[in-house]
Amino acid sequence: DIQMTQSPSSLSASVGDRVTITCRASQGISNYLAWFQQKPGKAPKSLIYAASSLQSGVPSKFSGSGSGTDFTLTISSLQPEDFATYYCQQYNSFPFTFGPGTKVDIK
Amino acid sequence: EVQLVESGGGLVQPGGSLRLSCAASGFTFSSYAMSWVRQAPGKGLEWVSAISGSGGSTYYADSVKGRFTISRDNSKNTLYLQMNSLRAEDTAVYYCAKGIRYFAQVSYMDVWGKGTTVTVSS
């Protein structure tokens, strides 16, 4: 199985900050990498697919990059509605696997 | 608007069975792969199972293989997850999610339902 790791596991940031989250796969997954946002008590929401493609309706402050084993999610200017947990997920091969999540909270 | 509505969750004893349903609307259901993903209380996301648009190909996490069965009824636009031999560690919110293509392989999940809660306890 492909293991996904994320760093940091949590971070505190202020409104307006630029935030970067890193995701690493235990083996190459090409660009079959997605990012999801989840708020407490809510279902995950898709943000990015194919490592860098923005899901329809997602604001352009979210961006993704990477290929192979190393990927990043960047939020260009953090807003109050962005405080949430972010998960990466590989869909290169079964079983699909998720990273452990990065919790972004208010400093 | 694409909508997925899960149902069928509840409290069940260890060793028991439960069938989850996911009613889909707003898209041509038979043209897309579907998945189930779960989240144990306070934990991260775990992919459980996926199925192709026709239902002819199915995939499972090792943790549920042999106990859970994914299926779909394209005439009813409904996805199912039959869960047998349930264990305490199966306690979770179960989400259904729509894939972006007919085949489940390399198919990212773009739309998710709100989830249904399964609690396995005596």
> What's the token pair of residue B37?
């993903």
Compute the average pLDDT of residues A69-80: 96
Read off the pLDDT band of A49 (50, 70, 90): very high
User: Three-state DSSP class for B28?
Assistant: coil
pLDDT of A42: 97
User: Three-state DSSP class for B6?
Assistant: strand
pLDDT of B39: 98
Query: How far is B81 from B62, CA to CA, in rounded Å?
Result: 15
- Which of B42, B55, B39 is closest to B6 using CA atoms? B39
End-to-end Cα distance, chain A: 36
Residue A67, CA distances (Å) to A3, A6, A23, A52, B49 in order: 15, 15, 11, 9, 25
Task: Answer yes or no: is pLDDT of A103 > 90.
Answer: yes
Residues of B in contact with A1 (CB under 8 A): 62
% chain A with pLDDT above 90:
98
Distance from CA of A76 to the nearest CA of B (A): 22
Which residue out of B34, B45, B68, B107 would a mutagenesis test of the A interface target, given it has the greatest number of A Cβ atoms within 10 Å? B45
Chain A, chain B: beta-carbon pairs less than 8 Å apart: 61
Cα–chain-centroid distance for residue B60?
A: 10
Task: Answer yes or no: is pLDDT of B27 > 90.
Answer: yes
Residue B121: HSE in the Cβ half-sphere, 13 Å Cα cutoff:
7
pLDDT of A28: 98
Residues of B in contact with A55 (CB under 8 A): 110
Task: Answer yes or no: is pLDDT of A107 > 90.
Answer: no
Instruction: Write the pLDDT tens digit of every residue in B42-62.
Output: 999 999 999 999 999 999 999
Cα–chain-centroid distance for residue A24?
A: 11
Which residue out of A94, A98, A102 would a mutagenesis test of the B interface target, given it has the greatest number of B Cβ atoms within 10 Å? A94
Compute the average pLDDT of residues B66-86: 98
Residue A13, CA distances (Å) to A60, A106, B4, B78 in order: 19, 5, 33, 42
Compute the average pLDDT of residues B94-105: 94
Compute the average pLDDT of residues B92-116: 95
Instruction: Indicate the average pLDDT of chain A.
Output: 97
Compute the average pLDDT of residues B85-92: 98
Read off the pLDDT band of A106 (50, 70, 90): confident
